[in-house]
A and B are shown apart, each in its own frame.
Chain A
Amino acid sequence: EAQVTQNPRYLITVTGKKLTVTCSQNMNHEYMSWYRQDPGLGLRQIYYSMNVEVTDKGDVPEGYKVSRKEKRNFPLILESPSPNQTSLYFCASSLGRGSGANVLTFGAGSRLTVL
């Protein structure tokens, strides 16, 4: 089954304790992206990657890091989480930009709480 898999789905952590949210897709997609969803703000892009070793900032990158060492994986790293990073996170992937290629497939979401 074609899918984007995120782990963990739920996490409660404390301020300053480094964590990684993994994201993996099995569709050979070139483009991957992370979004966070907050009440009243919709979904906002954190980082994206056009291909292996190519990443760039989205609208709200502060406090996050990403890497794209393999095509299928795009982990989101919070080096020193803070309470304002409490949110619902979505990983997404697509074939790439361009006509017919940019329908994003989303993971199931990861609900993160930072105390």
Chain B
Amino acid sequence: AQKVTQAQTEISVVEKEDVTLDCVYETRDTTYYLFWYKQPPSGELVFLIRRNSFDEQNEISGRYSWNFQKSTSSFNFTITASQVVDSAVYFCALITGTASKLTFGTGTRLQVTL
């Protein structure tokens, strides 16, 4: 069985602060993909990143960065210099090589205030 845990239910930061959203996953498969999705207040789900289990390189995209560590089964997401527009619910998700579904964590609500 696969599982994704996002222990942080809600985080509040002041604009320009850095913030890290944690994601811990469980799977017995050796081939899997990890994802982050953003859900802004408007409600749609926006794909942010996909990482496969054979690629442990960290990724940076503008103010966003992702730290994938197989040794700790974690795929954490950092926003540098947060902005109000980053306010959203962020979901981490996992799919294994043979699975038919994306398993989501329960989400972390990020509130960025001025």
Contacts and interface: CB of A to CB of B under 8 A. Distances in A.
Interface stretch (B13-21, B45-53, B66-74, B78-86): B45-53
Contacts of A88: 43
B98 A97 contact: yes
Contact of A103 (B44, B47, B99, B105): B47
B106 A42 contact: yes
A21 interface: no
Interface residues of A, number: 27
Contact of B101 (A40, A59, A105): A59
Given A99-B52, A103-B50, A109-B44, A41 B106 contact: yes
Nearest to A99: B52
B101 A58 contact: yes
B59 to A, nearest CB: 15
A42 B43 contact: no
A104 B43 contact: no
B102 A106 contact: no
Given A88-B43, A97-B98, A106-B45, A42 B105 contact: yes
Interface in A12-71: 33, 35, 40-45, 48, 50, 56, 58-59
B43 to A, nearest CB: 5
Interface of A is mostly: strand
Interface of B is mostly: loop
Contacts of B97: 97-98
Interface in B23-52: 33, 35, 37, 43-45, 47, 50, 52
B101 A45 contact: yes
Contacts of A102: 33, 95, 102
30 contacts: A33-B102, A40-B106, A41-B106, A42-B91, A42-B106, A43-B91, A43-B102, A43-B104, A44-B104, A45-B101, A45-B102, A48-B100, A48-B101, A58-B101, A59-B101, A92-B102, A97-B100, A98-B97, A102-B33, A102-B102, A103-B35, A103-B50, A104-B47, A104-B102, A105-B47, A106-B37, A106-B44, A108-B43, A108-B44, A109-B43
